[in-house]
Amino acid sequence: MKKIVCIIFIFLVCGCVQRYYNVATRSEEIYFYSTEKEVKIGKAFAERIEKKFQLEDDLLLQQKIKRIGGKLAGVCDRKEIKYSFKLLKDDTVNAFALPGGYVYMFKGLWDKLGNDDALIAAVLSHEIGHICARHSIKRLQTSVGYGILSILVNTAGRMNRLERRKATIGINELLLAYSRADEFEADRLSVKYLGKAGYEQTAVIDVLKILRKEQRENPIKPLAAATHPYISQRIKNVKQHIDTVQIEFNDYINTVP
């Protein structure tokens, strides 16, 4: 009974359920949230992130992340949203995406990438992959996510202390809890978007190796470890995927009369 009431409530609040073929995941999916609502949710989270972390003040670096991100956004599977790419002044070695097109990289990770365009692109395209596959929003469609979401959507900007605490837990849920399958899927999509934007696809492997090294050297940093697990398996999968794409491409060339 409780479940039915909950479902009816979701219908009432969200208006409608959309059935949609997602090019990124190559499957038909059901969304409780329109793109418009997703962007609104992402914006609410983004405002909180930018209160919690300072933006990097080197404008040249901000321009660079925006330029590379914009190039990738132009070739990705979701072009109906406006993407934003920002560098956060913090030594954490990580990057993350919020629903609705908000992508952030910490300066700590940026520095490990040695200002290299292809490596930066590899990180950003992975995060764009999460957005195109709608990983966060799908998680938020679960009952746990729903409680957090209703607070954010309905009270963004005027939260009391308890609500703020719940929203913070929500942010952590979003940032830390991609499944293994989600990570593999974002990696696969990053290979695709890098290729389309003219970057070296093997940059994904190089970035994963950097993250693996970082994880070995600093195993107690929980954020990076939780969001980038199973790195060796991911490297293996990406290598296999790049090889498969290569074979498909060669086959296509061979079959052209």
Q: Which residues bind Zn ion (CB under 5 A)?
A: 183, 186
Beta carbon nearer to Zn ion, 38 or 187: 187
Beta carbon nearer to Zn ion, 38 or 183: 183
For residue 58, the tally of other CB atoms under 10 A from its CB is: 13
Q: How far is the CB of 96 from Zn ion (least distance, A)?
A: 8
Q: How far is the CB of 126 from Zn ion (least distance, A)?
A: 6
Which strand ranges, in their side-by-side order, compose the sheet holding 84-88? 84-88, 102-106, 95-98
Beta carbon nearer to Zn ion, 56 or 183: 183
Strand pairing partners for 207? none
Q: How far is the CB of 185 from Zn ion (least distance, A)?
A: 9
Cα gap 46→44, rounded to integer Å: 5
SS3 state of residue 46 = helix
Q: Measured between alpha carbons, how far apart are the two ends of the chain, in Å?
A: 62
117, 87, 92, 122: which is closest to 102 by C-alpha? 87
The residue type found at 123 is V
Q: What are phi and psi of 157, to 5 degrees?
A: 95, -25
Cα gap 173→204, rounded to integer Å: 25
Q: What are phi and psi of 224, to 5 degrees?
A: -65, -40
Q: How far is the CB of 190 from Zn ion (least distance, A)?
A: 9
Q: How far is the CB of 209 from Zn ion (least distance, A)?
A: 16
Q: How far is the CB of 29 from Zn ion (least distance, A)?
A: 19
For residue 218, the tally of other CB atoms under 10 A from its CB is: 11
The CA-based diameter of the chain, rounded to the nearest angstrom, is 68
Cα gap 91→110, rounded to integer Å: 9
Q: How far is the CB of 161 from Zn ion (least distance, A)?
A: 31
Beta carbon nearer to Zn ion, 14 or 87: 87
Beta carbon nearer to Zn ion, 10 or 235: 235
Beta carbon nearer to Zn ion, 189 or 242: 189
Beta carbon nearer to Zn ion, 10 or 140: 140
Q: Which residue is nearest to Zn ion (CB)?
A: 186
